């Protein structure tokens, strides 16, 4: 992963409460709290670089005194974190998620100030070891095996400049690119290539697959001529490749297959590409007719229904503009669906509220 960090372990502690004032029954101030606040243009690496000790402690509450019987609350500690963060305890239990700018998550409460109930002695603040687990947020996630041409495709459809080479696993960290449209931009993520067994964490499978969870849509990228990781592994046709990718997503988290998906069939500039494409399209139209030819462990429980299938060549530029149009159309359609669902829910709430008022009347 080089300098890319997608998991960070931090120590957090709420502030200690202030001392009470026994003679006059004064209460000490409560200790400050530690909050994580989502902020754009923040990375886990920037947090690590800025706070190498990775310790965050809130301020102590003020002691009760003759001048101020109720001590002031200690200063809160706010830590800016990236969007798309899951906050986990050391035991793996989730404390919260931060997906939009300005969202806040309380991670360590301050201790109570000294009072009659505590014999005027203050309480210590909550202390925890927490993990910040980053799952990329993007409109579209590129999913494929190594050398399918995902990085080349990202460089063609967006302004990103990922490393491109003729060996497997060129992409070792997620790359983000922005497709520039006339009215606004879309974010596309090139995710590291999956391998067979990724769902079981082979080849850092879980680190790669978790980023797929936070993309709105999937763009599967396959080599029209098929795929072979090395001479020790089996050659897979384009059809088998699609089924294998589906299987890995399904075994990791079945809900991933419910995401809207597009299919880019890459390397259409290669010899016999058109024949291979015709064969693949036949197989995709009636996949059940060809499943008997494959090993049982390759076959997923359910297949992905692609909204569009676009043949492309990152070498010649064939199909790139069509792909960009399809991505935009698919995202617009899904946004309209979400808006329609929201309108229906709001209308239902208004009707329910109106019925309740009529019943009361």
Q: Are residues 206 and 317 in the same domain?
A: yes
77 and 32 together in one domain: yes
Instruction: Read off the pLDDT of residues 274-333 as tens digits, 9 standing for 90 and up.
Output: 999 999 999 999 988 888 878 887 888 888 889 999 999 989 999 999 998 898 899 889
**Least confident window among 16-30, 119-133, 161-175, 232-246:** 161-175
Average pLDDT score over residue span 185-207: 54
Beta bridge partners of 16: none
Whether 354 is covered by a domain: the verdict is: no
In a domain, residue 342? The reply is no
Pair (120, 160) in one structural domain:
no
212 & 239 share domain? yes
Q: For residues 197 and 209, give the distance between their C-alpha atoms in angstroms, rounded to a whole number.
A: 11
Residues 130 and 158 placed together within one structural domain of the fold:
no
* 176 band by pLDDT with thresholds 50, 70 and 90: low
Sign of CA dihedral 185, 186, 192, 195: negative
Which one is predicted more confidently, 230 or 76?
76
Q: In the listed set 134, 151, 166, which residue is the last one of a domain according to the structure?
A: 134
Domain final residue, candidates 102, 134, 166: 134
Q: How many structural domains comprise the chain? A: 2
Looking at the structure, tell me whether residues 108 and 75 fall in a common domain: yes
| pLDDT for position 35 | 98
Residues 119 and 183 occupy one common structural domain: no
Q: Is the pLDDT of residue 160 over 80?
A: no
d(CA 306, CA 350): 36
Q: Please state, for a pLDDT cut of 90, what percent of the chain lies above it.
A: 46
Q: 80-135: per-residue pLDDT in tens?
A: 998 888 999 988 899 999 988 999 999 999 999 999 999 999 999 999 999 998 87
Same domain, 50 and 63: yes
pLDDT of residue 154: 78
Asked whether residue 121 falls in the same domain as residue 143, the answer is: no
Which pLDDT value is given to residue 163?
46
What mean pLDDT do residues 62-70 have? Answer: 93
What pLDDT is stored for residue 225 in this prediction?
Answer: 93
Write down the pLDDT at residue 194.
Answer: 59
Distance CA 322, CA 310 (A): 7
The DSSP annotation for 149-210 comes to SHHHHHHHHSS------SSTT---S-EEEEEE-SS-EEEEEEPPPP-TTGGGTGGGHHHHHH
pLDDT of residue 165: 36
Identify whether 93 is part of a domain.
Answer: yes
Range of the domain at 79: 7-134
Query: Which H or E element spans position 36?
Result: strand 34-38
Average pLDDT taken over every residue of the chain:
84
The residue-averaged pLDDT of 41-47 equals 87
**Whole-number pLDDT of residue 115:** 95
The residue from 134, 166, 193 where one domain ends is 134
């Amino acid at each position: 992963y080089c300098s890319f960090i997608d998991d960070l372990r931090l120590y957090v502690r709420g502030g200690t409460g202030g001392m009470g004032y026994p003679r006059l029954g004064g209460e000490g101030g409560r200790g400050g709290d530690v909050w994580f606040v989502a902020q754009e243009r923040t990375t886990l690496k920037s947090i690590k670089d800025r706070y190498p000790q990775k310790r965050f402690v809130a301020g102590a509450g003020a002691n009760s005194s003759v001048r101020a019987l109720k001590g002031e609350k200690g200063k809160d500690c706010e830590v800016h974190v990236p969007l798309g963060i899951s906050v986990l305890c050391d035991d793996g239990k989730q404390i919260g998620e931060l997906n939009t700018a300005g969202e806040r998550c309380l991670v360590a409460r301050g201790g109570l100030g000294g009072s009659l109930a505590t014999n005027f002695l203050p309480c210590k603040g909550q202390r925890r070891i927490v993990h910040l687990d980053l799952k990329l947020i993007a409109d579209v996630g590129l999913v494929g095996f190594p050398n399918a041409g995902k990085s080349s495709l990202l460089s063609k459809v967006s302004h990103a400049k990922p490393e491109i080479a003729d060996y497997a696993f060129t992409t070792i960290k997620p790359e983000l690119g922005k497709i520039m449209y006339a009215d606004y931009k879309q974010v596309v993520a090139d995710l590291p290539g999956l391998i067979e067994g990724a769902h079981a964490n082979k080849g850092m499978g879980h680190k790669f697959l978790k980023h797929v969870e936070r993309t709105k849509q999937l763009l599967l990228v396959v080599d029209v001529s098929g795929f072979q990781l090395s001479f020790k592994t089996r050659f897979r046709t384009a059809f088998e490749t699609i089924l294998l990718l589906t299987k890995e997503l399904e075994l990791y988290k079945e809900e991933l297959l419910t995401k809207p998906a597009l299919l880019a069939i890459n390397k259409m500039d290669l010899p016999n590409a058109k024949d291979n494409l015709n064969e693949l399209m036949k197989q995709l139209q009636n996949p059940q007719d060809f499943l008997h030819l494959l090993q049982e462990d390759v076959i997923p429980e359910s297949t992905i229904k692609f909204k569009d299938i676009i043949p492309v060549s990152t070498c010649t530029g064939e199909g790139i503009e069509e792909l960009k149009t399809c991505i935009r159309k698919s995202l617009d359609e899904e946004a309209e669906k979400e808006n329609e669902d929201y309108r229906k829910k709001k209308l239902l709430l208004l009707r329910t509220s109106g019925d309740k008022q009529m019943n009361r009347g």
